[in-house]
Structure 1
C-alpha cells in the first residue's frame, strides 16, 4: 500500500526549532503544507539561507514545490562551525 503522507525533515538547528527531526504532513503545495504547521517554524523554514532537498535532490526554486504522497522534503540550514584550535 503506497504512503499517503509526505514528510518534512529538519536538519541542524532546524531540528531544535521544530522540536523534532521530522513531521508527517498531508501532501500538497508547499505554501499550503507550511500554513498547517506552527507559524514560527514555517517562518524559519522559509528563511532565504535555508536550502531544500526533495527526495534527496537539492532544489533551486522552492516556489513550485508540490509534495506528493511518499515525498520527503528536507530543510537544510547553512553550515557553520569548524575546528577550534
Structure 2
C-alpha cells in the first residue's frame, strides 16, 4: 500500500524532502514507517525512533497505530519554547 510521509523542521532537512510517497506492507504500523524512513536515510541516526512526535491524518498517533492505504504520516521533532 502507498502512504504519504511528511517531514517537518530538522527531519525535513535530514531527508532533503518535505513530502514523499512510499510503499509499505499491508498491516504496517507507524513503527514500521519509522524503520522505513530511517533505513532509507541513515542521516537520521535513530532520531525518528527516539524523538519524533507522530500524526496520522492530522491526529496524534502512537507507534502501534495501524496504517491504511493513502494515510498521511507526519513526523515532527520535539519543540521547546518559552
* Structure-2-length-normalised TM-score: 0.72
Task: Return structure 1 stretches of 4+ with deviation > 6 angstroms.
Answer: none
**Over alpha carbons, which structure has the higher Rg?**
1
Q: Give a deviation string over 1:11-42, Cα, whole Å, max 9, x none.
A: 01100011110221113324444245234437
List alignment gaps of at least 5 residues for structure 2. Answer: none
Aligned length: 76
List alignment gaps of at least 5 residues for structure 1. Answer: none
Q: For structure 1, which segment, 65-74 or 25-34, has the greater mean C-alpha deviation from structure 2 after superposition? A: 25-34
RMSD of aligned alpha carbons: 2.3
Q: Which has the higher helix share?
A: 2
- Whether the 8 Å CA contact 1:27–1:68 is kept in 2: the answer is no
* Structure-1-length-normalised TM-score: 0.70
